[in-house]
Chains A and B, each alone.
Chain A
C-alpha cells in the first residue's frame, strides 16, 4: 500500500502525527494503522542484545523487566518521554521513525549504537543508528519503508551505570539540551567502557566517541568531561530557537554531559554484580 504513494502515512501511537494533523501541518490522504499488528509489539532478549518491536508502547517498555535489567539507559529516559498519557499510546518505533532531534529514545539509540530494522516491500533492511538518523524528522528509511524493530546492544560488564540529564521549560516538554551516558567499571572502579551522547542541540543526536574513549582507564571527573565536551562542540553550530539560543544550548549540553557521566559513574560504582554470570 505504501508503494502506491499518494500521501499515505503510517500511524502507530499517533502522539506526534495526530497533533501535526490537528495543526494541519500534516495532511495525509490515507493512514495505515499498524498499532494492532501483534508481531510488531514485543521485547525479546537475544544473544547480546534486546530487540524491541516498533509498535511496543512506551509505557510497556518503561516497566518491562528485561529492559530494566539489560537496557538501563532506555529505562532511565522513558519517564522523560512526554507525560504518562502520551507514553500509554506512543510507541518506541514511532519515536525512532519520527527522528525528532530532542527525542530521548533517539538519543539512546544513537548513544548505545542500536540497529534500526525496517521492511520495504519484501526487503528487510538493517541500519545502524549512526546512519539511520540524517536530520530533524529525517531518516535513511524510504517513504515506502515501515520500521519494524530496533535492536539495542546489552553491555555484559558486571558494573554498569547510566546517567541522563536534560533541561526543558517544563517537565516532559521537549528538551533544549540533553545528555545520556553509560559507563562500565572494573572491580577497582576504573572506567573500562563508556558511551556518551547529546541530544536536542544538533539536527540529530550526537555521539561523542572521542570523549567516551578518553574516559577509558580513568576515574571520570566532572570538570574534565565538561571541558572536553565544550571543546568538542566548539566547531558545531547548535540548533537555535526562541526558547534556547545556540550559545545556551552549547553551554547546557557540556554541563549536562558532564553531569550525566558523573551520574553514570556513581551508579556504576554503586552497582552490585547484578550481571555476574
Chain B
C-alpha cells in the first residue's frame, strides 16, 4: 500500500506492506534506527515517537495508518547537526541512562511532557516516565534529568541574571 509519511519535517512516499508497523518502517525503510524495538507489543515504550506532538507507541500503529500525521523521532528533536536538545543535554549531564536502549523513547516522552507542561511536579514527571521501562537505572537520574531540562527550558525566556 502507498503511504505518505511525514517524518521530522520531510515527506516520504513509500510502498509498504499493510502489516508493517510504523516502527519497522522507520527503522527498515527510512533507516531512522534511533527509534528502538523493545517489547513490540506496546508495554516498554522504547519505540515511542511523537504523532502530531503526542507520544505514541510506533509498534502499535501500522505505517499505513500514520499517513499524513506529523511524526517526530529522536532524530528530529535536535536543533541542528551535532547538537542536542535541552532534554538530551540534561540526560547526559545527570547521567540519566546506563545502557541507553530506552533513552530515545524516554527523551520523546519528556519532550511531550514539557511541551504541554513547562513546570511539571516530580509526581507528574514520574507519572509521565512510568510509560517507559528502564531496566538499568532505577529512574532517579532520569527524573532528575527531566526536572533539569524543564528548569533550563523555562529559563530560556528569562533574564540571564536574576535580581
Contacts and interface: CB of A to CB of B under 8 A. Distances in A.
Interface string A20-43: 001100000001010100000000
Interface residues of A, number: 20
In this complex, which of A15, A59, A83, A88 has the most chain B Cβ atoms within 10 angstroms of its Cβ? A83
A171 B112 CA distance: 19
A18 interface: yes
The dominant DSSP class at the B interface is mixed
A86 B42 contact: yes
A89 B128 CA distance: 16
Given A83-B130, A84-B112, A89 B41 contact: no
Contact of B61 (A59, A89, A170, A171): A89
B127 A86 contact: no
A142 interface: no
Interface string B125-162: 00110110000000000000000000000000000000
How many of chain B's residues touch chain A, expressed as a range? 20 to 34
A183 to B, nearest CB: 27
Interface string A136-173: 00000000000000000000000000000000001110
22 contacts: A11-B65, A14-B62, A15-B42, A15-B57, A15-B60, A18-B21, A18-B41, A18-B59, A18-B62, A19-B41, A22-B40, A33-B65, A59-B54, A84-B54, A85-B55, A85-B56, A85-B109, A88-B55, A88-B56, A89-B56, A89-B60, A170-B130
